Structure 1
Amino acid sequence: MWIRTMYWIVMTAGNLTFLSTALPQGVLPQDVIDIGSRLEPLIDEHLLARKTGSLRLRLHRPIRQADAITLDKPWEGNNSAYATVLKHQDQFFFYYRGTALILDGKVRHEHLATTCVMTSRDGVRWERPDLGFVKRDGWERNNIILTLDPAGKIDASPGQTRTAGHDLLSGKKVPFTGASHNFTPLIDTNPQCKPREKFKALGGHDHRTLYAFASPDGLHWNLMQPEPVIVDGMMDSQNLAFWDPVQKKYFAYYRDFKNKKGDTRQYAKHQFSLRDRDVRVATSVDFVNWTKGDWVDWRPDRITQLYTTQTQLYPGAEHLRIGFPLRYVPGRGRFSQLNERIAASSTYYASVYTDTGFISSRDGRTFRIWPEALLRPGTTGAQWYYGFGGTALNLIESPSQLPGGETEWSFYVQDHGSWFGDGVTYQRYSIRRDGFVSASAALSGGSFTTKPLRFSGDHLLLNYSTSALGAIRVELQEPTGKPIPGFSLDECVELFGNSVKHAVTWKQRADVNAISGKPIRLRFELKDADLFSLRFAARR
Structure 2
Amino acid sequence: MARGEISDPLLPLNTGVHLFVDNYYIENSSSLQFQNGKIEKDLDHPLVHPEYPWENAVHFYTSFLQVPADLSIHGKAMYLLYYACAASYQVLFNSTVSVCVANSTDGINWQKPLLWYYPFTANGTQSARPTNIVFVTETNEFLGSIFLDRGKRTPRLEIFKMTYENSPQRFVYIGTSPDGFKWTAGTKPAHPKAGLSDTQTVMLYSGNNGGEYVLYGRYNSDVANTSVYCPGSWSDYRHAVVTLSTESAFGPWTESVEAFPLGSPDPIQCFDNYNPAALFYNNVYFLFPSGYLHWAQSDSGAPIQRAAQNDGVMDIRLAVSHLAHGPFTFPTRDPFISRGIGTVDPKSKLVNGTGSDRDAGFVFSSANGLLDPDFIRSDVVTPSAWMYHVYWGSQTTHAGGGAFLGRYWPDAYSGIFRARLRREGYVSLATLTSDPTGKGWFTSKVLSLPEKKDGQQLLLYINAEIATAGYLAIQFEDGLTGNPIPGFTFDECKTLHGNGIRQLLEWKTQNGTYSADLTPLVNYPNGVRFHVHVGHTKLYAFILSYV
**Shorter-normalised TM-score: what interval?**
0.7 to 0.9
Q: Distance in 1 between matches of 2:45 and 2:116?
A: 27
Aligned to 2:309, the other structure's residue is in SS state helix
Task: State how 1:132-211 maps to structure 2 within 5 Å.
Answer: 132-138=116-122, 140-148=129-137, 177=138, 181-205=142-166, 206=168, 208-211=170-173
Residue 111 of structure 1 and its aligned partner are, at CA, apart by 5.6
Provide the identity percentage.
Answer: 19
Counterpart position of 2:65: 86
The corresponding residue for 1:531 is: 539
Look up the match of 1:356: 316
Q: Decide whether the 8 Å contact of 2:316 with 2:337 is kept in 1.
A: yes
- 3-state DSSP class of the match of 1:196? helix
- Quick one: distance in 2 between partners of 1:364 and 1:242? 10
CA distance in 2, matches of 1:399, 1:537: 18
Query: Which range moves more in the overlay, 385-394 or 92-101?
Result: 385-394
What is the CA distance between 1:424 and its match in structure 2?
A: 2.1
| Residue range with higher mean Cα deviation, 372-381 or 387-396 | 387-396
Deviation per CA, 1:251-290: give whole Å up to 9, x if none: 111111235458xxxx99x998444501222223121234
Q: Which letter does structure 2 place at the counterpart of 1:439?
A: L
Partner of 2:73: none
C-alpha distance in 1, partners of 2:148/2:223?
37
Q: Which of 257, 261, 264 in structure 2 is aligned with 1:295? A: 257
For residues 514 and 421 of structure 1, do their structure 2 counterparts lie closer, same or farther at Cα, with a shift above 3 Å needed?
A: farther
| Inter-CA distance 349–300: structure 2 relative to 1 (3 Å threshold) | closer
Cα distance in 2 for partners of 1:300, 1:536 equals: 37
Structure 2 match to 1:395:
370
User: Do structure 1's residue 212 and structure 2's residue 212 form an aligned pair?
Assistant: no
Q: Which residue in 2 is equivalent to 1:440? A: 430
- Distance in 2 between residues matched to 1:374 and 1:186, nearest whole Å: 23
TM-score (norm: length of structure 1):
0.79
Q: CA RMSD in A?
A: 3.3
Match of 2:11 among 33, 40, 43: 33
Number of the residue aligned with 1:372: 334
Q: Which residue of 2 aligns with 1:131?
A: 115
Matches of 1:432 and 1:180, distance apart in 2: 36
Shift of 1:534: 0.6
Task: Give how far 1:63 is off.
Answer: 0.7
Residue 483 of structure 1: CA displacement?
1.1
Q: 1:433 to 1:312 in 2, by over 3 A?
A: same
Aligned-partner residue type, residue 526 of structure 1: V
Please state how far the C-alpha of 1:372 moved relative to its aligned partner.
Answer: 2.0
Equivalent residue of 1:222, what SS? coil
Q: Return the letter of the residue paired with 1:185.
A: I
Contact 2:190 2:249 in 1 (8 A): no
* 1:501/1:493 CA distance change after superposition, 3 Å: same
Q: Cα offset for 1:178?
A: 6.8
Q: CA offset at residue 180 of structure 1?
A: 5.9
Does the 8 Å CA contact 2:78/2:103 hold for their aligned counterparts? yes
Give runs of aligned pairs for residues 48-127 of structure 1, distance below 5 A.
48-52=26-30, 54-65=31-42, 66-68=44-46, 69-78=48-57, 80-88=59-67, 89=69, 90-99=77-86, 112-127=96-111
Find out whether 1:242 has 2:226 as its counterpart.
no
Matched residue, 2:393 = 415
Residue 74 of structure 2 is matched in structure 1 by none
Q: Which residue of 2 aligns with 1:328?
A: 292
Output the CA distance in 2 between the equivalents of 1:211 and 1:221: 13
> How far does residue 237 in structure 1 lie from its aligned partner after superposition?
1.1
Distance (Å, rounded) in 1 between the aligned partners of 2:539 and 2:334: 20
State the distance in 2 between where 1:77 and 1:523 align. 56
Which residue of the partner structure matches residue 501 of structure 1? 502
The equivalent position to 1:455 in structure 2, one of 435, 444, 449, is 449
1:411: how far off? Answer: 1.9
Asked if the contact 1:178–1:204 (Cα under 8 Å) also holds between the matched residues in 2, the reply is no
Give how far 1:389 is off. 3.2
Q: Deviations over 1:186-241 (max 9, x none)?
A: 11122432111110121124352111221111112223434553433342311011
Residue number in structure 2 paired with 1:307: 274
**Is the alpha carbon distance of 1:371 and 1:25 closer, same or farther for their aligned partners in structure 2, counting shifts above 3 Å?**
same
Write out per-residue CA displacement over residues 303-322 of structure 1, whole angstroms, 9 at most, x where no aligned residue: 352211211211xx23x211
1:132-183 superposed Cα distances (whole Å, 9 cap, x missing partner): 11223246231011125xxxxxxxxxxxxxxxxxxxxxxxxxxxx3796124
Partner of 1:520: 528
- How far did 1:57 drift? 1.6
Distance 1:405 1:44, change over 3 A: closer
Q: Hey, what does 1:151 align to over in structure 2? A: none
The answer for the alignment partner of 2:72 in structure 1 is none
Length-normalised TM-score, structure 2? 0.78
Q: Give distance in 2, aligned partners of 1:108 and 1:56.
A: 44
Mapped to 2, the partners of 1:188 and 1:257 lie a distance apart of 28
* AA aligned opposite 1:326: S
Tell me the residue number matched to 1:486: 487
CA contact (8 A) 1:258 1:275 kept: no
The offset of 1:535, in angstroms, is 2.1
Deviation digits for residues 352-388 of structure 1 (CA, Å, limit 9, x no counterpart): 2211011111111111134222111121234677642
Aligned letter for 2:28? Answer: R
Give 5+ residue unaligned stretches, structure 1. 1-21, 149-176
What is the CA–CA distance in structure 1 between the aligned matches of 2:360 and 2:193, rounded to whole Å? 30
Structure 1 counterpart of 2:517, which letter? D
Q: Amino acid of the residue matched to residue 369 of structure 2? A: N
1:526 Cα offset (Å) = 1.0
SS in 2 for 1:363: coil
